[in-house]
């Protein structure tokens, strides 16, 4: 339960107005720090929910498929440039961000990740490699300003951030498949 407490503390920290404003004032921090940290806070809190509402998870997310689809959908939503803008100008969308990312993504991701088939895990990884690569391309190469709230230079920096993540994921996959995995759950 201590892990869940860390999750709550992280979540509380992230919703503090000065922290929130500071993070949202820089595009790359908004997209690649705040949003992932919200997911991490949910991941840390997931242990509590898995115990408290175990039957719910078993009934609705028995093999992890429903949960992982939800995770993919919500993360795709938060990668669209327009949603960043809307989160800054609309209270409802901002509220949705602070609820959907920890509780519908982080919590659900942890519950689903241990349940889904290893092939689907690999597929999800490759899906994100493609998506992050695409976003890197879009944000670096876009001929127009894609967010009202951020400058073109901000979106270029974000694009390079996505590229770094893409390369990181590729290196992770490479070390995973080219190092000895005998006896692992592959």
Options 60, 96, 141, 159; binder of other proteins; rule CB under 8 A: 141
The CA-to-CA distance between both ends of the chain, in Å, stands at 29
For residue 79, which of 13, 177, 156, 159 has the smallest C-alpha distance?
A: 159
| Stretch in the footprint of other proteins (CB under 8 A) among 20-28, 51-59, 90-98, 129-137 | 129-137
Instruction: Tell the smallest beta-carbon distance from residue 159 to other proteins (Å).
Output: 11
Options 118, 153, 160, 168; binder of other proteins; rule CB under 8 A: 118
Is position 36 an interface residue for other proteins (rule: CB under 8 A)?
no
CA atoms of 107 and 104, how far apart (whole Å): 6
Is position 72 an interface residue for other proteins (rule: CB under 8 A)?
no
Instruction: Tell the smallest beta-carbon distance from residue 69 to other proteins (Å).
Output: 14
């Amino acid at each position: 339960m201590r892990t869940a407490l860390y999750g709550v503390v992280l979540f509380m920290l992230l919703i503090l107005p000065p922290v929130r404003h500071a993070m949202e004032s820089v595009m790359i921090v908004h997209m690649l720090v705040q949003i992932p940290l919200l997911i991490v806070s949910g991941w840390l809190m997931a242990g509590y929910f898995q115990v408290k509402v175990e039957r719910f998870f078993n009934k609705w997310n028995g093999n992890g498929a429903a949960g992982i689809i939800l995770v993919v959908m919500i993360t795709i939503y938060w990668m669209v440039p327009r949603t960043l803008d809307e989160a800054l100008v609309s209270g409802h969308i901002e509220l949705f961000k602070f609820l959907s990312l920890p509780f519908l993504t982080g919590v659900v991701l942890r519950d689903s990740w241990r349940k889904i088939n290893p092939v689907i895990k690999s597929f999800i990884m490759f899906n994100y490699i493609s998506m992050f690569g695409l976003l890197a391309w879009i944000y670096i190469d876009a001929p127009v300003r894609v967010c009202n709230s951020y400058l073109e230079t901000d979106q270029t920096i974000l694009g390079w951030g996505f590229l770094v993540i893409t390369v990181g994921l590729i290196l992770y996959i490479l070390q995973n498949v080219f190092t000895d995995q005998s006896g692992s759950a592959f």
